[in-house]
C-alpha cells in the first residue's frame, strides 16, 4: 500500500480529457507545495511532467496540467493522444521521517 | 544533454551483495543531490536512498537501512548503491534520480532526471 493513493487505471478516447487524482494527508500534499507528476513508459526513464503542483517543465505539452485541493492533487490531460498511454505517478515531499512519498501509479489507456 | 545510465544489476542469492552504478553525463554530481528509487514487480515506486551534493549526508529508507550504502565518485561522475544482505523483497528495478531542492529550505521539490533502471533479482 502506497503512502499516496491513486486510481489503478483510467481510460479515455483520443481527444477526450481525463483526470488522475493523488490523495495524501496534511503531512504531505495538504501542507506542502512540492507535488510532482511523472510519465513512465515501462522500460524507459520516468519523465517529470508537472512540478510544484502546477508547473510544466520546458518541452512538456500544455495538454498536461496540475492542481491541488486540500490533501488531494490532480493531473489533468486534455486532448488525449495515443502516445499519452503510460503509467502516471505522483510524488510529494513529506514532513514525516522519510524523504518523499510516491503514489501507486495509474495506468492510462487510450482507447 | 543530461543522461543517467544505471548498470550492475543481475541475479543474486539471498544474503548476497551487489553494487549498482549510475554514470551521469551533462552535469556534475557536486552540483546536485542524487537518489536511488526502486520499483518491485507490480508495486509502486519506493524511495531508497539520498546523497547530498558534498557527499557528507546520506538518508535511507527504513527497509534498507544498515544494509545499503549510497556513495559517489564525483571525479568519475558516478553514483553507487552498495547492497548487502539482500532479500527476496529487494527484487526490483533500481533507478537513479536527480533531485531539485528548495533553494531556501533545502527540502525536496521534484526529480528532474531519471535513469532507465537496472533490474536486481534476489532468488535462490
Percent of chain B topping pLDDT 70: 100
- C-alpha A80/C-alpha A88 separation (Å) is 14
The predicted-structure confidence for A50-103, as pLDDT tens digits, reads as follows 999 999 999 999 999 999 999 999 999 999 999 999 999 999 999 888 889 999
B4 and A51 within 8 Å at the Cβ level: the answer is no
Mutate to test the interface with A, among B42, B45, B50, B106 (most CBs of A within 10 A): B45
User: What pLDDT score does B107 carry?
Assistant: 87
Q: Mean pLDDT of all residues in chain A? A: 95
Q: For the sheet containing B68-73, what is the strand order?
A: B3-7, B18-25, B78-83, B68-73
Is it the case that residue B75 has pLDDT exceeding 90? Answer: no
Average pLDDT of span B15-40: 96
B112 and A57 within 8 Å at the Cβ level: the answer is yes
Q: B97 near B110, Cβ under 8 Å?
A: no
Is it the case that residue A1 has pLDDT exceeding 70? Answer: no
Amino acid at each position: 500500500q502506497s503512502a499516496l493513493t491513486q486510481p489503478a487505471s483510467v481510460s479515455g478516447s483520443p481527444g477526450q480529457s481525463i483526470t488522475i487524482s493523488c490523495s495524501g494527508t496534511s503531512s504531505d500534499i495538504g501542507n506542502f507545495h512540492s507535488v510532482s507528476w511523472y510519465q513512465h513508459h515501462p522500460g524507459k526513464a520516468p519523465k517529470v511532467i508537472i512540478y510544484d503542483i502546477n508547473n510544466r517543465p520546458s518541452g512538456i505539452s500544455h495538454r498536461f496540467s496540475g492542481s491541488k485541493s486540500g490533501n488531494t492533487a490532480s493531473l489533468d490531460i486534455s486532448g488525449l493522444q495515443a502516445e499519452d498511454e503510460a503509467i502516471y505517478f505522483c510524488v510529494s515531499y513529506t514532513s514525516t521521517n522519510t524523504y518523499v512519498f510516491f503514489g501507486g501509479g495509474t495506468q492510462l489507456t487510450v482507447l | 544533454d543530461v543522461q543517467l545510465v544505471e548498470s550492475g544489476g543481475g541475479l543474486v542469492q539471498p544474503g548476497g551483495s551487489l553494487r549498482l552504478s549510475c554514470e551521469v553525463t551533462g552535469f556534475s554530481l557536486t552540483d546536485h543531490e542524487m537518489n536511488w528509487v526502486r520499483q518491485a514487480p507490480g508495486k509502486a515506486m519506493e524511495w531508497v536512498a539520498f546523497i547530498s551534493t558534498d557527499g557528507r549526508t546520506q538518508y535511507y529508507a527504513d527497509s534498507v537501512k544498515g544494509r545499503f550504502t549510497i556513495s559517489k565518485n564525483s571525479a568519475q561522475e558516478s553514483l553507487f548503491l552498495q547492497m548487502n544482505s539482500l532479500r527476496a523483497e529487494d527484487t526490483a528495478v533500481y533507478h537513479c534520480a536527480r533531485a531539485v531542492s528548495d533553494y531556501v529550505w533545502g527540502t525536496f521539490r521534484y526529480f528532474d532526471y531519471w535513469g532507465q533502471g537496472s533490474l536486481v533479482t534476489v532468488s535462490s
